[in-house]
Amino acid sequence: MLTTEANQRLTQVGKGTPMGELMRRYWHPIAPTAELDERPTKSVRLLGEDLVLYKDRKGTFGLIDALCPHRRVDMSYGIPEEEGLRCMYHGWMFDETGQCVEQPFEETVHPDGRFKEKVKIAAYPVEELGGMLWTYLGPTPVPLLPRWDLFVWDNVLRDIGKTELNCNWLQCMENSLDPVHLEWLHGYWSEYMLKESGTDGVPTAPWHRHTKISFEPFEHGIIKRRTYTDTTEDDPEWKNGHPIVFPNWLRVGTNFQMRTPVDDTHTIHWHYDVYAPPAGVPAPKQDFVPYYEAPLRQDDGSFAVDYIIGQDTMAWVTQGPIAQRQLEKLGESDKGIILYRRMLQEEMAKVEEGMEPLNVFRDPGSNEIIELFQERAPGVIMKLPPNTVPLPGQWDPATGDISVASTGKHAPVGLRARTTYQAAAAEAGVKLA
């Protein structure tokens, strides 16, 4: 177990805290690019800082302080102009660097005045990659935005899911270092719920008892491996495992789960999925990467646990805003969590000593595409095509539904606009099963 002080050190993400300073060494996803096409301003809270993301009329993205320094009003109601974001209250305008570039009345009264040059607010760089907008809140020089494989692959379809959680980010991440919950939460408990609901004729997800688990640090984080009663250590699933990408992502198949700390007690959970077209079907061109809200709760306020990630989010949120790790009783199945906490502590110490932490990229040559290992790709780096169809509990770009989950149900989610495989298949003259 951790002491209360050690728990605070791992969970607090504000500026000046050890974890907050570590997290500020990384680029974080802040919005789907398509969202700014629908409305060019958006309130963003990240690592305890309140900000406004905007897209000006030239197409430049900016992320600046949420409040105008003049009379402290909310800039998310501002007006995007050619050169930046104008405050709707008195017309002051700021560019993407946070510099005030226009003060209409002051410049009318004092045409030669230089007051605006003295006014500058917090601003952070914004870049676009893979249909998402990213920002970096740390010190200069700014590192490269990592070009992980899922964001830069060709001939695939992508979509982005988002869930807002009222719990600390670490609860989400520690779940990824816990293989054994798969057989109980997503297997045994799902079967129990299915039986209790009286649902007949729907196959349940297979579940197996773990016989061995293993965790190994690698250049980008930690590899998680497991075996069941019907597998051996020679099995490809064991040899490859799947990676936890430091500091706050999980990679499963062709999906990134990114856990972005909003503040100490809130997290944005991003689902980034990539799908390969069926054989003989070219991936249709996506004019934009669509996004959706993954359900957290049902209409009656209970958790939406009829799909896999919904079951996970229930487990995270019910631990409370910040899990009281000083009260936990860890067992043999928790050695991955212990390793991950140790890695976090080591990387925080690096930052405190003025060193660069894991997964900060500076060399453009090694950042063209950063490829990861994947289960079901024995002995090779992930150059195989991604899954043609979603795994249970994932979003399906062809139907617009979350695919059949372990309870046998669907969780439909509203869809804005999407190019589907069906259209591409029809154009290619390929009949889909």
Q: Give the tens place of pLDDT for each residue, 27-50.
A: 999 999 999 999 999 999 999 999
Same domain, 159 and 107: no
Percent of the chain exceeding pLDDT 90 equals 58
Residue 140 clears pLDDT 60, i.e. is over it: yes
Phi, psi of 127 (to 5 degrees): -130, 155
Q: What is the pLDDT of residue 331?
A: 95
> Is 433 inside a domain boundary?
no
Q: What is the pLDDT of residue 136?
A: 98
Residue 392 clears pLDDT 80, i.e. is over it: no
CA-to-CA distance for 253 and 221, rounded, in angstroms? Answer: 16
Same domain, 106 and 153: no
> Is 57 inside a domain boundary?
yes
Question: Domain span at residue 383?
Answer: 149-428
Residue 178 clears pLDDT 50, i.e. is over it: yes
Model confidence, pTM: 0.86
SS3 169: helix
Same domain, 127 and 178: no
Same domain, 180 and 258: yes
> Is 73 inside a domain boundary?
yes
Q: What is the pLDDT of residue 304?
A: 79
> Is 6 inside a domain boundary?
no
285 compared with 198, residue with greater pLDDT: 285
For 248-279, write each residue's pLDDT tens digit: 999 988 889 999 999 999 999 999 988 766 66
> Is 300 inside a domain boundary?
yes
Same domain, 84 and 217: no
Q: Which amino acid is at 69?
A: P
**HSE (side-chain half, CA atoms, 13 Å) at 333:** 16
CA-to-CA distance for 114 and 144, rounded, in angstroms? Answer: 35
SS3 95: coil
List C-alpha distances in Å: 373 to 155, 244, 272, 370.
20, 11, 17, 10
> Is 141 inside a domain boundary?
no
> Is 14 inside a domain boundary?
no
CA-to-CA distance for 18 and 3, rounded, in angstroms? Answer: 16
* Mean pLDDT computed over every residue of the chain: 84
Q: What is the pLDDT of residue 238?
A: 73
Same domain, 131 and 153: no
Total of domains in the chain: 2
Check which CATH number belongs to the domain holding 48 and give it: 2.102.10.10
Same domain, 125 and 191: no
Taking residue 388's Cβ as centre, other Cβ atoms within 10 Å add up to 12
List C-alpha distances in Å: 407 to 93, 175, 196, 311, 393.
52, 20, 11, 11, 10
Same domain, 169 and 194: yes
Instruction: Select from 147, 130, 129, 149 the least CA-distant residue to 373.
Output: 149
